[in-house]
């Protein structure tokens, strides 16, 4: 199956330092992103959605800047799914922009936009931004 790269960006009224734990720690991600998140061994996390576990390895991380998760593929998949969160702060407005790259099997742009809009609404409620 062909993978699809979906990129979207959101403005949040919180500093990168405040937001980074919400995209990089199990407890932070569990508050808005997945039903459950467990820390695995060797820089890995196990995300749970709809009762299914999805193991991912942290392949890159820059403190308060970005983090990238590479999901372990199924036996019949050639390419890995991955997800990257990147935080950039505007010097002009002091707002933080969260850029999300979602590389997966889902090719429906409207569905992906609605999914991320809902997740980010939850994140905004949690951080107050």
DSSP string, 22-33: HHHSHHHHHTTT
- Whose structure tokens read 């590479």? 70
Type and span of the H or E element at 117: helix 109-127
Whose CA is closest to 56, among 40, 68, 69, 66?
69
Q: What integer is the mean pLDDT of 1-10?
A: 90
DSSP-derived secondary structure letter, 63: T
For residue 1, pLDDT over 90 is answered with: no
Question: For the chain, how long is the longest CA-to-CA vector?
Answer: 47
What confidence score (pLDDT) does residue 75 get? Answer: 65
Q: What's the predicted TM-score (pTM) here? A: 0.91
Query: What does the pLDDT look like over 70-124, one tens digit per residue?
Result: 998 776 767 789 999 999 998 888 889 999 999 998 999 999 999 999 999 999 9
């Amino acid at each position: 199956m062909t993978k699809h790269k979906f990129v979207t960006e959101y403005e949040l009224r919180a500093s990168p330092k405040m937001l980074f734990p919400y995209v990089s720690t199990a407890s932070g991600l569990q508050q808005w992103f997945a039903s459950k998140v467990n820390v695995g061994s060797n820089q890995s996390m196990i995300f749970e959605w709809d009762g299914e576990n999805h193991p991912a390895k942290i392949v890159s991380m820059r403190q308060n800047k970005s983090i990238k998760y590479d999901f372990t593929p199924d036996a019949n998949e050639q390419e890995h799914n991955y997800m990257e969160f990147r935080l950039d702060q505007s010097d002009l407005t002091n707002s933080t922009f969260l850029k999300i790259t979602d590389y997966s099997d889902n090719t429906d742009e409207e569905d992906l936009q609605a999914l991320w809009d809902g997740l980010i609404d939850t994140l905004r409620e949690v951080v107050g931004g």
